[in-house]
Amino acid sequence: MEQPCYKCGQAVEEGVPFCRHCGAPQIRVAIAEPVSVSAAGDAAALSPQTESARMAPGAALPLQWPHALSACAGAALLAALSMVLGLTFPAAVLGAGFLAVALYSRRNPGPMRASRGAQLGAISGVFCFGITAVFLAVAATAPDVRTKIRSQIIEGAEKWAAARPADPQVHAALEQLKTPEGLVMMLVIGGVVFSVLFVVLAGLGGALGGAILGRRDKV
């Protein structure tokens, strides 16, 4: 079998090391084609590493929002009721964050971290503030309760002003507070401040719960 010379193009018999016309060497080196890996092979090769990374101990699982919202709402409702029954505000809100983490972990066993607990606690703080605001709004529909709330706010402001007798701006603010417009402004400012406090305190309680439950899972 003959094949053309790569240099001069003349026919050269197979197995002859040099072209008899131009003397060019006829040695050829066969290069193996790269083996293509199929998509199924890639998936099979990568699946053990992917599965091990997915199931690695301590890996954070996605937050299950339906369970998270129900746990946070339940914890917030219990905290709001406990404040109505006389529990102090900081203790109730901190407990709401901790309880939200405990309720969520009960329905979703798995690794729990302080950051995830803080997230759940902050959500419960939002719920707790909303429920407490609804309770106060309903209670304020009664004239005697509304009058009591107003008198308590003014009494607290008077005590604060009494500690600064030489400051005319304080006394001017107190007189403004006694007007309906000033009282509404004070309620709005107080609502914003308390909403932040609810979220922060409940987030701290949730972070504490996440740290404790996460340490327990590692044991």
Domain positions in the chain are 65-218
Confidence of residue 95 (pLDDT cuts 50, 70, 90): very high
pLDDT digits (tens, 9 = 90+) for 103-158: 999 998 888 899 999 999 999 999 999 999 999 889 888 888 878 878 888 888 88
> Higher model confidence: residue 58 or residue 113?
113
The radius of gyration of the chain's CA atoms, rounded to the nearest angstrom, is: 38
Inter-residue contact 97 to 125 (CB < 8 Å): yes
What's the pLDDT score for residue 37?
47
**Burial of 155 per CB tally in 10 Å (0-12, 13-18, 19+):** exposed
Indicate yes or no: pTM above 0.85. no
CA dist 79 to 54, 72, 93, 154, Å? 36, 10, 6, 27
What's the pLDDT score for residue 36?
52
Pick the closest to residue 113 from 36, 211, 37, 180 (CA basis): 211
Q: Which residues pair with 2 in a beta bridge?
A: 13
Burial of 76-88, coded b for 16+ CB within 10 Å and e otherwise, reads bebbbebbeeeee
Of 74-83, 108-117, 174-183, the one with minimum mean pLDDT is 174-183
